[in-house]
A and B are shown apart, each in its own frame.
Chain A
Amino acid sequence: MQNRRTFLKAAVLSASIAAIGGLSSSAWAADTIKVGVLHSLSGTMAISETALKETALMTIEEINAKGGVLGKKLEPVVVDPASDWPKFAEKARQLLSQDKVAVTFGCWTSVSRKSVLPVYKELNGLLFYPVQYEGEELEKNVFYTGAAPNQQAIPAVEYLMSKEGGSAKRFVLLGTDYVYPRTTNKILRAFLKSKGVAEADIIEEYTPFGHSDYQTIIAKIKKFAGEGKKTAVISTINGDSNVPFYKELGNAGLKAKDVPVVAFSVGEEELRGVDAKPLVGHLAAWNYFMSVKNPENDKFIKMYRDWAKKAKLPKADTVVTNDPMEATYVGIHMWAQAVEKAKSTDTDKVIAAMAGQTFKAPSGFTLKMDETNHHLHKPVFIGEIKADGQFNTVWKTKGPVRAQPWSPFIPGNEGKQKL
């Protein structure tokens, strides 16, 4: 183990020396394949994204331990765009044109993905995006290993409307003010309308990034819920705002059995910073939970725990795994498989080889990269928060579901359903 770390360090060091010295190809650089990791390690999104960087490094080490890809070791290049969206584009350009990475694993918020897209298109790079998102996008240079709306948001709302989920009749759509919550809520509004929910029974609320005072919103939810029909809250709040939101929710005594809150961006990692006891019963919808029981998952959790200890992460004894981490893990492995199949790291050849790749994922299912639409077929789980911050799966699909990146509930998408 120690050897490999020394080797990695040496590799990074020599690569940086090479970069500084302006040498275009040294003997070392030719022996490795550079892999970019583009996640915010500071700022409002660091709460979620730091763990993805760790997962990426862990997976790269795992692949290197098995001999690397095409006989070469992978060499991670980590950059910190600091939750600053324009900086994502700068760092992406640096990764592609300066570090010449073969592939990038990165981004969490949709606004950061939208910010780097032009760079990847212009320089024909390859980006693996590991987080659930709003859909309405299909780029040749991107593989989406997170969920599309029909693999997360729509099933979650269907569950809330079912007898099992409490037959909710009114909905509060609550989100951070940017493209993902706005688009998801647009889709959900259209979906609810198609299910016969009246306009008057839906309210939408947005807060800025990093918002920390949720008193007014909680009061509004209470009032709205007090008007009679069973109410549910659908939260697309992202980043560290979730901590004050859930704290306020707990202190205001809004219980899950009265007004359940289902979140699309809150997982095990985000709940580490909160006392989960007042939140018991609130929900989240994902394609993976740490509490899922199967041998692949046991292996994954153990691998990450060992990694946390070795990398001396803060509070290494309580680290958790979550859905975007799983998606990162699956994405890196699939990319490695595709490179082996294509026998090249060339962007176009890898894209062609990605179609139909399969991988036995920690969620317990064998996931397949769709032949045409760059999205994974994924199972859907709905879980209730337990007092220890884990999720208790209360509903799941029988098997993986094919992604519909173009939501059928948005007008104008009718012709794109084959994708």
Chain B
Amino acid sequence: MKRLLLLISLLLCVGRASAALEPVVLQGLASDDFDGKQAAVAALSAAGDDADAQRLLKALSEDAVAVAGGRLVIVAGEQVLDPASGAPIKPAPASPESISLNNSLRQQVDGALAAARLLSADRAERLTAARALLADMGEGAALLPLFDKALAREQDGEIKPILVQLAAQAALGSPDVARRLQAVRDLAGSGSPAVKALLLPLLDPANEPEEKLRLEAGTAIKAIDARLAWSDTAGQIFTGISLGSILLLAALGLAITYGVMGVINMAHGELLMVGAYSAYTMQALFRAKFPEFVDYYLLAAVPVAFFVAAAVGMLMERTVIRHLYGRPLETLLATWGLSLVLIQAARLLFGAQNVEVANPVWMSGGVQLAENLSLPWNRLIIVAFSGFVLLLVWLMMNKTRLGMFVRAVTQNRPMAGCVGVPTARIDTLAFGIGSGIAGLGGVALSQIANVGPDMGQGYIVDSFMVVVLGGVGQLAGAVWAALGLGVVTKFLEGWAGAVIAKILVLVFIIIFIQKRPQGLFALKGRFVD
């Protein structure tokens, strides 16, 4: 890479190679061995902004170069172009076989394209080129003259800082002490681990004779380290919150059915599965019927999952659970049986294999907050979604008549009945709402985990853990327990690995429940069992 960059810069400064597309270059590209291709790409890169070379490089980066009839061609849609002149070949040769670049060649091609575009007249083009070089290049000492030239010309406030960084990185190897010192100072503002790696060797007297520079590099590294430590911790907390929000979504329905109503619902995980399959079904429906809106299938999946899961839950309550109120052991067995029935039903309907639920485009990718911290959109949206569901549940329980009835019935059933609350119907509705919320959790899970018939089994333990830890009968408890478990699990994972973290969390919960069986938040007052 270094040698290549040297070559590029030499040719950029000294003079332009005119005959970039000599047959030997084209032959090299068409050849099967790596060294031949690499030499050809190097020759093309060295041609600088020669239009023909640029065209070929661009085609290479777009995988549009092919071999057809023993010669190299560029495939542009229907047309087949001659790489040397860019003119269409007629008649078009049959069955062009595209030539393949591997990672390192692609990196070379992209680097050469970006370097040439750094002097482009188009601002957007310069900006992407500068960013690409910053992301890709280590030291790149050989490109320093190019960066200096670009820097001298650049007026744009956004591109200039990137160029300063690039030039500083390249100038670290400069023989001029003042220049080196300036470079180290410029780099001290960076938050990138790659820059830190560039500065590290400067601490060694063998690499850097100047004492002053060594001290300066030390300060710069400390500054970078501080920033890295900050974004590391922020990243860890975010992953913890993200896991917590998923636990919360999984457990919130259970917080109502188990926490408030006292039903040990072993089929809760399967209600999540019902929600996830609703999302899958909506995706399939949108793909078949409204392909132009396929990115918004999730918005439709949310209400559908709620009502489907609620319907399944209400059916369960009406047919089975209702007859078992006050008999926890039988409820446990019966709901476990129901969970098996639901799993088998999903196998029959959708097959035993996992189904594919794709992230919509607006949930792919992430926001880059710092060099080493990017938050994926799907997780951010799930965090927001869990907040939204929590708000809905809270409003429902505390601000609506139904919520008041639910609380009344669970706190004192005979008294509620006496004042005219239809307790049986309230039970069904409350169970339905709890199940519906589990369905919403399922939609969220479909975006990050696998959707299969037995996906619920993996969440049932976690859900009970959250509810029991938070304190039965308390929504606030579930929230704190979910977030706490999420953050603790993630810190433990970072420290001891996923397998040990899982064990430690379970051990912690066993000890905690032994010491404090009522959970984090105990329900106080006139709670009647």
Assess whether A41 is in contact with B374, with CB atoms less than 8 Å apart: no
B372 within 8 A of A: yes
Assess whether A46 is in contact with B352, with CB atoms less than 8 Å apart: yes
Contacts of A211 in B (CB 8 A): 498
**Of the candidates A46, A166, A217, A395, which one forms a contact with B354 in the assembled complex, judged by CB atoms under 8 Å apart?**
A46
Assess whether B450 is in contact with A212, with CB atoms less than 8 Å apart: yes
Contacts of B34 in A (CB 8 A): 164
Which one of A5-13, A191-199, A250-258 is at the interface? A250-258
Which one of B363-371, B389-397, B416-424 is at the interface? B363-371
Distance (whole angstroms) from the CB of B83 to the closest CB of chain A: 20
Q: A165-B104, A206-B499, A216-B490 are in contact. Are A251 and B193 (CB under 8 A)?
A: no
Distance (whole angstroms) from the CB of A61 to the closest CB of chain B: 21
**Of the candidates B135, B246, B502, which one forms a contact with A208 in the assembled complex, judged by CB atoms under 8 Å apart?**
B502
Contacts of B243 in A (CB 8 A): 213, 215
Distance (whole angstroms) from the CB of B493 to the closest CB of chain A: 4
A-B CB contacts (within 8 Å), total count: 146
B353 within 8 A of A: yes
Q: A164-B34, A228-B200, A244-B450 are in contact. Are A217 and B498 (CB under 8 A)?
A: yes
Q: A50-B353, A164-B34, A243-B354 are in contact. Are A208 and B193 (CB under 8 A)?
A: no
B177 within 8 A of A: no
B136 within 8 A of A: yes
Distance (whole angstroms) from the CB of B180 to the closest CB of chain A: 19
B161 within 8 A of A: no
Assess whether A247 is in contact with B372, with CB atoms less than 8 Å apart: no
Distance (whole angstroms) from the CB of B412 to the closest CB of chain A: 41
Distance (whole angstroms) from the CB of A7 to the closest CB of chain B: 26
Chain A residues bordering chain B, tally (CB within 8 A)? 56
A219 to B351, CA, bound (A): 35
- Nearest neighbor of A253 in chain B, beta-carbon distance: B374
Contacts of A252 in B (CB 8 A): 366, 374, 376
Q: A240-B450, A275-B364 are in contact. Are A257 and B106 (CB under 8 A)?
A: yes
- Nearest neighbor of A46 in chain B, beta-carbon distance: B353
Assess whether B353 is in contact with A275, with CB atoms less than 8 Å apart: no
Please indicate which of the listed interface residues B104, B228, B364 has the most CB atoms of chain A within 10 Å of its own CB.
B104
Which one of B6-14, B264-272, B398-406, B451-459 is at the interface? B451-459
Assess whether A41 is in contact with B352, with CB atoms less than 8 Å apart: yes
Contacts of B378 in A (CB 8 A): 247, 251
Say what secondary structure dominates the interface of chain B: helix
Distance (whole angstroms) from the CB of B349 to the closest CB of chain A: 12
Assess whether B448 is in contact with A207, with CB atoms less than 8 Å apart: no
B356 within 8 A of A: yes
Contacts of A56 in B (CB 8 A): none
A310 within 8 A of B: no
B85 within 8 A of A: no
Assess whether B372 is in contact with A222, with CB atoms less than 8 Å apart: yes
- Nearest neighbor of A255 in chain B, beta-carbon distance: B135
Contacts of A215 in B (CB 8 A): 239, 242-243, 379, 490
Contacts of B450 in A (CB 8 A): 210, 212, 240, 243-244
Assess whether B193 is in contact with A42, with CB atoms less than 8 Å apart: no
A223 within 8 A of B: yes
Other A-B contacts than A165-B103, A228-B196, A251-B378, 15 sampled, CB-CB below 8 A, are A41-B352, A46-B354, A164-B102, A165-B102, A205-B497, A208-B499, A210-B458, A212-B449, A213-B243, A213-B449, A226-B192, A226-B196, A251-B364, A251-B379, A281-B106
Residues of B within 8 A of A (CB): 34, 100, 102-104, 106-107, 110, 135-136, 192-194, 196-198, 200, 228, 232, 235-236, 239, 242-243, 246, 347, 351-354, 356, 358-359, 364-366, 368, 372, 374, 376-379, 448-450, 452-454, 458, 490, 493-494, 497-499, 502
Of all A-B residue pairs in the complex, the 8 with the closest CB atoms, nearest first, are: A226-B193, A228-B197, A251-B376, A42-B352, A212-B449, A215-B239, A394-B102, A216-B493
20 A-B Cβ contacts within 8 A? A42-B353, A46-B353, A47-B353, A50-B352, A80-B352, A166-B104, A205-B498, A206-B499, A212-B448, A216-B498, A217-B498, A248-B376, A251-B359, A251-B366, A253-B365, A253-B374, A257-B104, A275-B358, A278-B364, A314-B351
